[in-house]
A and B are shown apart, each in its own frame.
Chain A
Amino acid sequence: MFNQQSPFIQKAPSVTLVMILVMLSLVPGILAYIFFFGIGILLNLTIAIITALIAEYFILKIRNLPIKLFITDGSAIVAASLLAISISPITPWWIIIIGTLFTIIVAKHLYGGLGSNLFNPAMIGYAVLLISFPAVMTKWPLPATHLLDFNIAQQLEVFFYGPKGLIDSVSSATPLDYIKTQIFLDKPYELNFSEGMPIRSYFNASIIISLSFLLGGIFMWFKKIITWHLPITFLVSLTLISLIFWLIDSSLYLSPFIHLFSGGTLLCAFFIITDPVSGPTTPKGKIFFAFGVALLVYLIRVFGGYPEGVAFAVIFMNICVPLIDSLTQPKVFGHE
């Protein structure tokens, strides 16, 4: 293919290996999901990955690119998996297909393919679904309180036949959604999620799932796939911002603990903002980026119209990445 010149030795994990390691780090989180919310997530993942591979095959054929080289790099599988994990486990199958098609075809290949996408593909897919199908996207199943305490048949029915009257008995709102709806309807709400509330069991599930993602994230950091800048800055900024507001008025704002462990915070910190293609390339740039995402996530959650702000925050900061990159160039050796 080309005349190899120096350097003649190389020791770097290939792109495929990096993607495989990312999938491995998602496994603890997926297992926790299955434990609490049933097999819905496995169905999501399967449909998403199959759709992604088929879509990628056809797009590569149309673009005249070598198919084997690009399908085996695993980036489509990772993007589809992240989308599948972000969606509720009892989403009907056509929603996942639409989301995956958007992720792979529009957000990834129409912008140039591997390495050229401007926005995080999984978040574009999620944002499109959230805006187009708002009611279905906010329905999450009731979490199990002990092992095997979920109804497979009912979940499969929702999966294949879509949301019908059945859905209210198997679903509930997430904690963030619950708070938002109560504020909107001007109803009283309990911020501390005391034991005995139905929302508490949901929050417990959320804590365990978040900790599993944290485990996966630490594994990725250990294997040097991600650096500390993005996740640590994001989590610290989110904690600080929510702490400030909570200290001002703890009856209006949720505590930092709840913000950190509910919704997709830890999934976002380790898997979503660390997408190398759409993120910044300089260390200082990464800190600014993560701070910006944390600020926007908090603002959308508390003052915005959506219960979870990760998708839109990440997309908005992706737009700012070229500017951040050009302003945070490191000082070259010897230059003043």
Chain B
Amino acid sequence: MKLLDKIFKLNGGIQTETNKKVSTKNPIKSLPIPSELRLSLRQHIGNIAKLKVKVGDQVLKGELIAEADGNISAAIHAPTSGKIKSIEKLLIPHPSGLPDFCVTIVPDKKDQWIKKTPIDWKKIGIEETNKLLLNSGIVGLGGAAFPSHLKIGNNRKNLINTLIVNAAECEPYITCDDMLMKERSKDLIEGIKLVQSLLGAKETIIGIEDNKPESYEIISKLILKESNIHIKIVPTIYPSGYAKSLIFLINGIKISKEKLPPEYGIQMFNVATIIAIYKFIIHGETSLSRIVTITGNVKEPGNYDVLFGTPLDSLIKDAGGQKIKTNTFIMGGPMMGFKLPSIDVSVTKTMNCVISAEPEMIDNKKEPLPCIRCSKCAEACPVSLQPQELYWFSKSDQFEKAQNYNLFDCIECGCCSYVCPSNIPLVQFYRYAKSEIIAESIIKEEADIARDRTDFRILRLEREKKERAQRNAERRAENTNAEKSKLIEEKRAEIKATLERIENNRENE
């Protein structure tokens, strides 16, 4: 273990009240298997998973329910044994509040595992291991849900020499990674060694914020014997846990929006994802559960180890229910999370925290004033953008100008809205502008395809006309006059016969 002193300074960012102590008082709690599990088919970035079961099927714990569709996709597995009750559109945890396809399983309480097959990755090689990872259901459990096999598979093209483990957990209120490190640190270290070998990296650096002293102590003791795993403390500034910010804080490399960390020899994983990969390869257990923090306006905030698909209301009930009834729940942290459409949703792979909203959080009475150009937002932006310019252009629908000012570099962290004296909801304007620009570009692509098809159709019709004219000319040239009149006579006889047939049919009716 070696403590590297040099931390680079992030430009911007904000210091908030972290509110983390309330949910770390008690250890991680497990709940009994609920009466129903509702699994959404779209829990990851990429294509929706392809169903492989139908209503009425019996499934075992860990059995494949839906497989990955293509390379950028992930699989869904049954979190426990039971019967498929229904496949229909239900409410999912999504800011739109629109329903999407979900598979409902009724557990049979036997919790029977499918045959677990640990993977001897050293024997079968990395390519084969990656193919197995494709249907392991493992996605980034830090909240981004990027399929993990793509991150491990990247090694073919580039040489990864550093693995960075994201233990920062910079958003206020969220403590699931912190509790994971306190209670399952041995699994974490073994997982780090495994992933490091899979990637072919030479060293690992764990990035942790300075508000987690106990986890730091536990981890540092365990890595004393390891020569190429180091741990580095970064100051508690939001958003130091954002992937590119953390990479910059640790080793000073600034990665721009178009490039990815592997091009610089770096790969980053969240602590929970590493443990999931470890369990899959060494124990043959697919990704079936995760740690969720329930905090905020509840009587007993804490962390829960729950199966995917667990209904949210059972979690809130176990946490004692809301102290002040607001009926609003925020998924994610208070800076980047979104309001859940209702409490009738279930745990997904991206649900790292649910905050029961306190009345100040959803106070709609703070009216926004016009922008006074104070530039506090520009001082706070971790990507060094000019949020006030982006705001003026997004507000007036001048999307081209907004893109000139690098609108898509915005990571929607919320630092700008946090410091705005006029209470302007800046991030909402950027989200609106980004979705409008993306929708417009999709429409333009479709219009281009339609134009090509129209042009091709006109070409095709002309070609057919030419071919027909040519054929007619050839046929005319072949036939002599005598043969032509004979053909005409034959045709006339045929028509007469058909007409007589129709007359007879009509008389018979």
**A residues touching B (Cβ–Cβ < 8 Å)?**
1-2, 4-15, 17-18, 66, 69-70, 73, 75, 113-116, 227, 276-277, 279, 281-282, 329-336
Contact = CB atoms under 8 A, between A and B. Distances in A.
Interface centre among A1, A75, A279, A332, by most chain B C-beta atoms within 10 angstroms, is: A332
B383 interface: yes
B418 A114 contact: no
Interface string B354-374: 010100011111111111111
A329 B386 contact: yes
A272 to B, nearest CB: 16
Interface residues of B, number: 62
A1 B386 contact: no
B373 A279 contact: yes
B365 to A, nearest CB: 8
Contacts of B248: 333
Contacts of B375: 276, 281-282
Contacts of B368: 1-2
Given A69-B369, A115-B371, A115-B373, A12 B421 contact: yes
Contacts of B378: 281-282, 330
Nearest to B363: A4
Given A15-B372, A277-B372, A333-B383, A8 B420 contact: no
A74 B361 CA distance: 26
A225 to B, nearest CB: 9
B370 A6 contact: no
Contact of A4 (B16, B362, B369, B422): B362
Interface string B317-360: 00000000000001010111111000000000000000101000
Interface string B362-403: 111111111111111011001111101100000000000000
Contact of A8 (B254, B255, B337, B365): B337
Given A6-B417, A15-B422, 6 more contacts: A8-B361, A12-B419, A114-B370, A116-B370, A276-B375, A282-B378
Nearest to B371: A115
Given A8-B334, A332-B383, A2 B425 contact: yes
14 contacts: A1-B364, A1-B368, A2-B425, A7-B334, A8-B335, A12-B419, A14-B421, A17-B421, A75-B372, A277-B373, A281-B389, A282-B378, A334-B254, A334-B259
B427 A7 contact: yes
Contacts of A332: 256, 383-385, 406, 409
A335 B423 CA distance: 30
B324 to A, nearest CB: 15
Given A6-B414, A281-B378, A333-B244, A15 B421 contact: yes
Contacts of B338: 5-6
Contacts of A2: 364, 368, 425
Contacts of B405: 329
Contacts of A11: 16, 418-419
B428 interface: yes
Given A69-B367, A281-B386, A6 B254 contact: no
Contacts of B254: 333-334
B94 to A, nearest CB: 13
B265 interface: no
A75 B422 CA distance: 13
A4 B418 contact: no
Given A331-B384, A333-B254, A333-B409, A5 B371 contact: no
Contacts of B376: 12
The CB with the most chain A CB atoms within 10 A, among B172, B374, B427, is that of: B374
B257 A281 contact: no
A325 B419 CA distance: 21
A10 B420 CA distance: 8
Please list the 10 inter-chain residue pairs (A to B) with the smallest Cβ-Cβ separation, ordered nearest first.
A334-B256, A7-B414, A115-B370, A8-B361, A276-B374, A333-B383, A8-B334, A7-B335, A281-B375, A9-B334
B95 interface: yes
A281 B378 CA distance: 8
Contacts of B406: 332, 335
B217 to A, nearest CB: 29
A297 B141 CA distance: 59
A6 B337 contact: yes
A240 to B, nearest CB: 26
A28 B447 CA distance: 66
A6 B405 CA distance: 22
B417 A10 contact: yes
A279 B336 CA distance: 31
Contacts of B412: 6
B371 A12 contact: no
Contacts of A12: 376, 418-421, 423
Contacts of B337: 6, 8
A282 B381 CA distance: 12
Contacts of A5: 95, 338-339, 425, 427-428, 431
Contacts of A281: 373, 375, 378, 386, 388-389
A329 B390 CA distance: 13
B418 A9 contact: yes
A276 B373 CA distance: 6
Nearest to B256: A334
Contact of B418 (A10, A329, A331): A10
A332 B382 CA distance: 9
A118 to B, nearest CB: 11
A13 B365 CA distance: 16
Contacts of A113: 370
A9 B405 CA distance: 27
B421 A18 contact: yes
A6 B334 contact: yes
A66 to B, nearest CB: 8
A223 B427 CA distance: 26
B255 A334 contact: yes
Contact of B421 (A13, A66, A70, A329): A13
B16 A282 contact: no
Interface in B248-285: 248, 254-257, 259
Nearest to A276: B374
A75 B379 CA distance: 22
Nearest to B173: A9
B108 to A, nearest CB: 40
A114 B386 contact: no
